[in-house]
Amino acid sequence: MAILFDAEKQIFFLHTQNTTYQMKVDGQKYLLHLYYGKTMDASTEYMLTYFDRGFSGNPHTAGTDRTYSLDALPQEFPVLGNGDYRSVAFKVREENDCYGCDLRYLRHEISGHKYGIPGLPAAYGTNAQTLTVVLEDARLGLEVSLLYGVLEDCDVITRAVQVKNKGTKTVYIEKLASACLDFLYGTYDVITFYGRHAMERNMQRTRVSHGRQMVGSTRGCSSHQYNPFIILAGEDTSERRGECYGAAFVYSGSFGAETEKDQYDQTRFLMGLSEEQFSYPLEKNQVFYAPEVVLSYSEQGMNRLSQQFHRCVSKHICRGAWQHKIRPVLVNSWEACYFDFTGEDIVNLARQAAELGIEMVVLDDGWFGHRNDDNSSLGDWEVNEEKLGCTLGELADRIQETGVQFGIWIEPEMVSEDSELYRTHPEWIMQIPGKKPVRARNQLILDFANPKVVSYLYGKIAAVLSQGEIHYVKWDMNRSLSDIYSNYAVKQGAVLYDYMLGVYRLLEQLTADFPEILWEGCSGGGGRFDMGMLYYTPQIWCSDNTDAVDRVRIQYGTSFGYPLAVMGAHISAVPNHQTGRTTDFHTRGVVSMTGAFGYEMDLGKLSDEEKAQVREQISRYHEAAPLLQSGDYYRLSNPFTDEFGAWMVVDAGRRKALLSVVMLNIHGSLPVIYVKLDGLDETKEYRDTESGSVYSGAALMSCGLPVTLRLGDYQAYQIQFEATE
């Protein structure tokens, strides 16, 4: 059993394959955190120390014991109101602006399945268990259930929180972090993935120091700027060595992640909903759920930690028909023709695609309303038959006749001022009365906190998807939220959260009613690249930046928390539309092929030589796809500091491996680059399937492989290895 309760000592043990999480209900009925790390059957309660410390108050029930202070003890769910002055997980305001919460243990329950969260995405699994610890504030009538999910196979512990108001008065939840990790001592680094539109998930490593450090999003989406995935690593931890903890928020809206080193050099980590513009009214008998945080621990460095998250995402987060299926190679119309197309052009793209072995054509933005640029028609999900020269059903048929599948783009959460929807329902947008809303990309935000808006959009989008055989939908979201005000909501402090529930409701209904469709998430590329979206869409367009060199870095940063198979990656034309840089067709192939692979260019402009390369890339992709989909991923360089990007994928039996290397710099008389491989079997020999050279697995991992130098910018290498026996 993964979850054990030692009734005598009042200690909970949560065991995964290689890790243990411990907590204790103490004499005061507080839930204290004891341990999170490698497997540990022995209690670590003896690590708790008690001293009389000035200005660290004592709960009244401790009597005259001045050594008991929540300001110093490690806790599972610290609250504002009982003498802990560090950053807390839970703040509750009463009607009279009082903050006096005090949560004590009431009861617990262990169940043989993984909890789900109504209306919110959450990890699932048949071989998983749940521990529910119910805490109570008797004065407020609040029952707070801490939910712990144990996914043994990928060394994951999940956390979520349910708050029930059993009292008589409305209270306001002003902060709720789903996960808290307290460490008694140690020097930690916090690794965050920051960025901007078209340059997401750069990596920053900083020392956790005295004071609060925080990243997050207040944009109503998880954001390009900070990803809701964070690593806390020991100061000496590297890719292959040392202790580290990862935390991913299974939520796509505003979030906050904090680290704090306190006065006694203890470290606290918190992750959950953003406090900004959040004040959730919880009325009598009402229940609130805080979204899930996925936690994992590795004592073998960050690459192992990433592999644990990869397994968790592919086995316990992604769902649906496409979860484990090899994705079709597609061509997307966006960088091929932007808004400038007719139905005939798209059929032509399909014909060219079919000739090259590309399996799907995706019609991106511009097929609805009168949208010929990005200033109009969002919200008008009516097919522009005049532009297409036919109905959507006819277009889908004509495309299918060429032998390829058909997909389309939508952006359900937005509305253009120049649209029928806005003219008919101006009250359906987020707009503060008396204030003109902030525009972005010349579009406004629909009020997804209003169920009417969500059901209207369901009707419209379902009708479009029923017009013909549509195999793929790219769900986009092209601006950050502002002017948080819903005409529907009674209290505006609930709107940001209720907006996300609306988005998830629409995603759930559409993905359930169109289960065969391959859904791709997108938000100006990777602005909503999170586990919340991955619960509905098994892949996400990784970035609007398709430049191969930038993509090496973006995909590298993304790989810390997310597997390759979920990263949309396309070969585009050069000079690249975002950077103006020119890279080889081969290099672009090597970089894109290790993601959810496709093309995003005018295929008619390809030279014969490039066409031959496309055919070769597709056959290589098909060969490698099962490996890429389920193999173990290894980062072999840091493309932010090294002269090259290198990564590899190895299958479970360690018989097949695919190594990719991209040179990021070139100099005269360049020193030879040696790449050390990983994940191979030391006792096996491996053949380079192209050159036929045979190497020992042990040597490839200990000594590495010299990379043959080719002159020219951004040369790339892809080597397939197969065990000789």
Stretch that binds ligand GLA, among 114-122, 160-168, 169-177, 519-527 (CB under 6 A): 519-527
Q: Report the C-alpha gap between 371 and 412 in whole angstroms.
A: 15
Query: How near is the Cβ of 476 to ligand GLA at its closest, in Å?
Result: 5
Examine residue 541 and tell whether it contacts ligand GLA (CB under 6 A). Answer: yes
Examine residue 476 and tell whether it contacts ligand GLA (CB under 6 A). Answer: yes
Q: How far apart are the first and last CA of the chain?
A: 39
Query: How near is the Cβ of 645 to ligand GLA at its closest, in Å?
Result: 23
Q: Which two tokens stand for residue 521?
A: 């998430």
Amino acid at 273: L
Nearer to ligand GLA, 541 or 721 (CB): 541
CA distances from 584 to 346, 490, 589, 639 (A): 26, 56, 9, 18
Nearer to ligand GLA, 569 or 646 (CB): 569
Nearer to ligand GLA, 474 or 553 (CB): 474
Nearer to ligand GLA, 468 or 524 (CB): 524
- Cβ-based burial of 436 (10 A; exposed 0-12, middle 13-18, buried ≥19): exposed
Q: Report the C-alpha gap between 303 and 647 in whole angstroms.
A: 11
Number of residues that bind ligand GLA (CB under 6 A): 12
Nearer to ligand GLA, 179 or 518 (CB): 518
Residues from 371 through 400 that contact ligand GLA (CB under 6 A): 374
Nearest CA among 450, 438, 506 for reference residue 219: 438
Q: Report the C-alpha gap between 71 and 73 in whole angstroms.
A: 6
Examine residue 280 and tell whether it contacts ligand GLA (CB under 6 A). Answer: no
Examine residue 538 and tell whether it contacts ligand GLA (CB under 6 A). Answer: no
Query: How near is the Cβ of 543 to ligand GLA at its closest, in Å?
Result: 8
Q: Report the C-alpha gap between 312 and 41 in whole angstroms.
A: 24
Task: For the chain, give the longest Cα–Cα distance.
Answer: 86
Nearer to ligand GLA, 219 or 656 (CB): 219
Binding mask 325-354 for ligand GLA (x = CB under 6 A): ---------x--------------------
Query: How near is the Cβ of 364 to ligand GLA at its closest, in Å?
Result: 5
Q: What is the 3-state secondary structure (H, E, C) of 408-476?
A: EEECCCEECCECHHHHHCHHHECCCCCCCCCCECCEEEECCCCHHHHHHHHHHHHHHHCCCCCCEEEEC
Binding mask 591-610 for ligand GLA (x = CB under 6 A): --------------------
Residue length, the chain?
A: 725
CA distances from 266 to 77, 186, 493, 520 (A): 16, 7, 33, 41
Question: Number of C-alpha atoms within 13 angstroms, CB side, residue 125?
Answer: 25
Q: Which residue is at the shortest CB distance from ligand GLA?
A: 365
Q: Which two tokens stand for residue 26?
A: 């103490």
Nearer to ligand GLA, 71 or 600 (CB): 600
- Is the Cα dihedral 640, 643, 645, 647 positive or negative? negative
Dihedral-angle region of residue 277 (phi above 0 means left; psi in -120 to 50 means alpha; beta otherwise) = left
Q: DSSP label at 536?
A: T
Stretch that binds ligand GLA, among 118-126, 412-420, 522-530, 685-693 (CB under 6 A): 522-530
260 catalytic per annotation: no
530 catalytic per annotation: yes
Nearer to ligand GLA, 442 or 582 (CB): 442
Query: How near is the Cβ of 244 to ligand GLA at its closest, in Å?
Result: 31
Question: Number of C-alpha atoms within 13 angstroms, CB side, residue 80?
Answer: 17
Examine residue 365 and tell whether it contacts ligand GLA (CB under 6 A). Answer: yes
Instruction: Characterize the bridge pairing of strands 129-137 and 104-111.
Output: antiparallel
Nearer to ligand GLA, 262 or 476 (CB): 476
Backbone angles phi, psi at 182, to 5 degrees: -105, 135
The packing angle between helices 343-356 and 608-630, to 10°, is 80
Query: How near is the Cβ of 372 to ligand GLA at its closest, in Å?
Result: 12
Q: Which of 530, 544, 651, 685 is catalytic?
A: 530
Q: Which of 94, 276, 374, 610 is catalytic?
A: 610
Examine residue 544 and tell whether it contacts ligand GLA (CB under 6 A). Answer: yes
Query: How near is the Cβ of 197 to ligand GLA at its closest, in Å?
Result: 8
Examine residue 364 and tell whether it contacts ligand GLA (CB under 6 A). Answer: yes
Examine residue 522 and tell whether it contacts ligand GLA (CB under 6 A). Answer: yes
Nearer to ligand GLA, 374 or 385 (CB): 374
Nearer to ligand GLA, 525 or 538 (CB): 525
Query: How near is the Cβ of 604 to ligand GLA at its closest, in Å?
Result: 20
Examine residue 525 and tell whether it contacts ligand GLA (CB under 6 A). Answer: yes
- Cβ-based burial of 168 (10 A; exposed 0-12, middle 13-18, buried ≥19): exposed
Of 256, 281, 369, 524, the one binding ligand GLA by CB under 6 A: 524
Check: CB of residue 372 under 8 Å from CB of residue 327. Answer: no
Query: How near is the Cβ of 443 to ligand GLA at its closest, in Å?
Result: 10
CA distances from 53 to 22, 63, 69, 264, 521 (A): 26, 15, 8, 10, 51
Examine residue 409 and tell whether it contacts ligand GLA (CB under 6 A). Answer: yes
Stretch that binds ligand GLA, among 127-135, 490-498, 521-529, 548-556 (CB under 6 A): 521-529
Of 478, 482, 592, 718, the one binding ligand GLA by CB under 6 A: 478
Q: DSSP label at 498?
A: H
Cβ neighbours for 580, distance < 8 A, ≥ 6 positions apart: none
State the catalytic residues: 530, 610
Give the residues lining the site for ligand GLA (CB under 6 A): 334, 364-365, 374, 409, 476, 478, 522, 524-525, 541, 544
